[in-house]
């Protein structure tokens, strides 16, 4: 039986163990732990919290590059003091330089990596598998405590100067197939961790909408979130939508955005109590009402700016006198197909309560620019 290290775990230890379980390059694993757009358990966020204060103004990719240099340095320090623990750490993290691919199988688990290193003579002579595991457990505890101390010393931005590296490694994370990081042009510099959008129907039209959001700032200085609503009539007036602040924000001035295909869009900034630092999180709520329009609707939808898995819930309260014939959810589909009624028994079909209420929570991460919603048919 392997004996665990004594004493309390290091603050960074849980994050390091999560990093060790990551499949793929360690640099990518570090970015995941630092990026609040990723679905990472709260107990693994200590590295992100320690780095956010001094490096919060940098893109997540550059934060990861800087932290990688610190981790490499501290593993070297562990190896200088206890070389077998150093071997275990370098083995588990799959490369002696950490940012270069290992010759071993990158998908192999921690035990398999240690077994391969043992058989390859990395520990100079074969040792019992439990001994290899003990080197890892004591090594990661040692590394965690060293990182705790070092990152506490690096709480001022100037202290990171030796780790910043060349300017050309700065910049935002590239947008990939599964990335929620938005492009820079015109995007709101937040990630939506949770959005609950509620729509109240009157007849066959939306009478009001309430949006409750928890967002994470992607940059330092974010102080607002822009809310938009479409006017039902070109002339506006009494029919114009009214966008109001409800919880933990105040409304800015109304801006009219021209539309190529009809009425203007009304935009109002929901201004936060104070500017956020990178990776800061805030909850706020807004509401839209006053759209005196009787045009029948067949959907409600949101456009994702990057939404966490299980982070989007849409709710519709139908008028009890005007219930639809069928309802369904749609996600990431072509425009025309989102309103095609799925057949009975399809997993996308939704049912509503006897009082006309229906809701759906999207389980996958919302991709930037894609639309998610609930559609319905009146007949």
The residue among 285, 308, 321 whose CA lies nearest residue 208 is: 285
pLDDT in tens, 126-168: 888 889 889 999 999 999 999 999 998 988 888 887 887 643 3
Task: With a cut of 90, say whether residue 249 has pLDDT above it.
Answer: yes
What integer best gives the mean pLDDT of the chain? Answer: 79
Task: With a cut of 90, say whether residue 36 has pLDDT above it.
Answer: no
Q: What's the rounded mean pLDDT across residues 284-297?
A: 75
Give domain limits for the chain.
13-169, 190-377
pLDDT in tens, 71-84: 888 988 898 888 89
pLDDT score for 293: 56
Task: With a cut of 50, say whether residue 184 has pLDDT above it.
Answer: no
pLDDT in tens, 306-349: 677 678 999 999 999 999 999 999 987 655 678 888 888 888 89
pLDDT score for 98: 41
Query: In this structure, are strands 205-217 and 222-230 parallel, antiparallel, or unpaired?
Result: unpaired
What is the spatial distance between Cα 144 and Cα 138, in angstroms, rounded to a whole number? 10
SS (H, E, C) the chain: CCCCCCCCCCCCHHHHHHHHHCCCCHHHHHHHHHCCCCCCCHHHCHHHHHHHHHHCCCCHHHHHHHHHHHHHHHHHHHHHHCHHHHHHHHHHCCCCCCCCCCCCCCCCCHHHHHHHHHHCCCCCCCCCHHHHHHHHHHHHHHHHHHHHHHHHHCCCHHHHHHHCCCHHHCCCCCCCCCCCCCCCCCCCCEEEEEEEEEEEEECCEEEEEEEEEEEEECCCCEEEEEEEEECCCCCCHHHCCEEEEEECCEEEEEEEECCCCCCCEEEEEEEEEEEECCCCEEEEEEEEECCCCCCCCCEEEEECCCECCCCEEEEEECCCCCCCCEEEEEECCCHHHHHCCCCCCCCCEECCCCCCEEEEEECCCECCCCEEEEEEECC
Q: Give domain 190-377's CATH architecture.
A: Sandwich (2.60)
pLDDT in tens, 95-124: 433 434 444 444 457 888 888 888 888 888
Task: With a cut of 90, say whether residue 245 has pLDDT above it.
Answer: yes
Task: With a cut of 70, say whether residue 295 has pLDDT above it.
Answer: no
pLDDT in tens, 359-369: 999 877 776 66
Q: The pTM is what?
A: 0.54
Query: In this structure, are strands 190-202 and 312-317 parallel, antiparallel, or unpaired?
Result: parallel
Residue 369 CB partners (closer than 8 Å, separation 6+) = 182, 303, 304
The residue among 65, 76, 221 whose CA lies nearest residue 147 is: 76
Task: With a cut of 80, say whether residue 291 has pLDDT above it.
Answer: no
Q: In Å, how far are 228, 237, 324 from 374, measured between CA atoms? A: 19, 29, 12
pLDDT score for 268: 93
pLDDT score for 313: 94
The residue among 211, 199, 208, 213 whose CA lies nearest residue 357 is: 199
Q: In Å, how far are 31, 49, 51, 55, 235 from 35, measured between CA atoms? A: 6, 11, 11, 13, 44
């Amino acid at each position: 039986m392997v004996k665990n290290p004594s004493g309390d775990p290091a603050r960074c230890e849980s994050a390091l163990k999560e990093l060790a379980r990551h499949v793929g390059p360690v640099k990518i694993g570090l970015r995941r732990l630092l990026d609040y757009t990723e679905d990472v358990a709260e107990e693994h966020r200590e590295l992100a919290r320690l780095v956010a204060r001094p490096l919060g103004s940098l893109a997540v990719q550059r934060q990861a590059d800087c932290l990688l240099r610190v981790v490499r340095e501290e593993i070297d320090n562990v190896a200088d003091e206890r070389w077998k623990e150093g071997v275990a750490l370098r083995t588990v993290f799959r490369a002696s330089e950490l940012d270069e691919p290992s010759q071993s199988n990158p998908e192999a688990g921690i035990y398999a990596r240690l077994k391969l290193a043992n058989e390859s003579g990395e520990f100079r002579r074969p040792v019992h598998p439990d001994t290899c595991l003990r080197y890892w457990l004591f090594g990661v505890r040692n590394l965690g405590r060293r990182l705790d101390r070092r990152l506490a010393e690096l709480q001022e931005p100037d202290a990171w100067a030796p780790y910043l590296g060349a300017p050309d490694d700065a910049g935002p994370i590239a947008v990939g197939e599964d990335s929620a990081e938005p492009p820079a042009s015109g995007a709101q510099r937040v990630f939506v961790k949770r959005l609950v959008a509620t729509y109240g129907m009157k007849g066959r039209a939306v009478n009001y909408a309430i949006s409750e959001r928890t967002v994470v700032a992607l940059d330092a200085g974010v102080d607002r979130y822009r809310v938009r609503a479409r006017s039902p009539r070109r002339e506006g007036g009494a029919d114009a939508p009214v966008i109001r602040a409800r919880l933990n924000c105040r409304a800015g001035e109304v801006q009219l955005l021209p539309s190529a295909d009809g009425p203007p869009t009304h935009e109002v900034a929901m201004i936060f109590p104070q500017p956020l630092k990178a990776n800061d999180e805030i909850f706020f709520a807004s509401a839209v009402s006053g759209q005196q329009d009787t045009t029948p609707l067949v959907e409600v939808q949101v456009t994702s700016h990057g939404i966490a898995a299980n982070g989007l819930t849409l709710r519709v309260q139908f008028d009890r006198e005007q219930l639809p014939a069928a309802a369904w959810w749609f996600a990431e589909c072509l425009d025309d197909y989102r309103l095609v009624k799925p057949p009975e028994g399809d997993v996308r079909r939704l049912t509503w309560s006897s009082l006309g209420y229906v809701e759906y929570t999207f389980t996958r991460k919302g991709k930037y620019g894609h639309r998610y919603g609930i559609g319905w048919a009146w007949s």
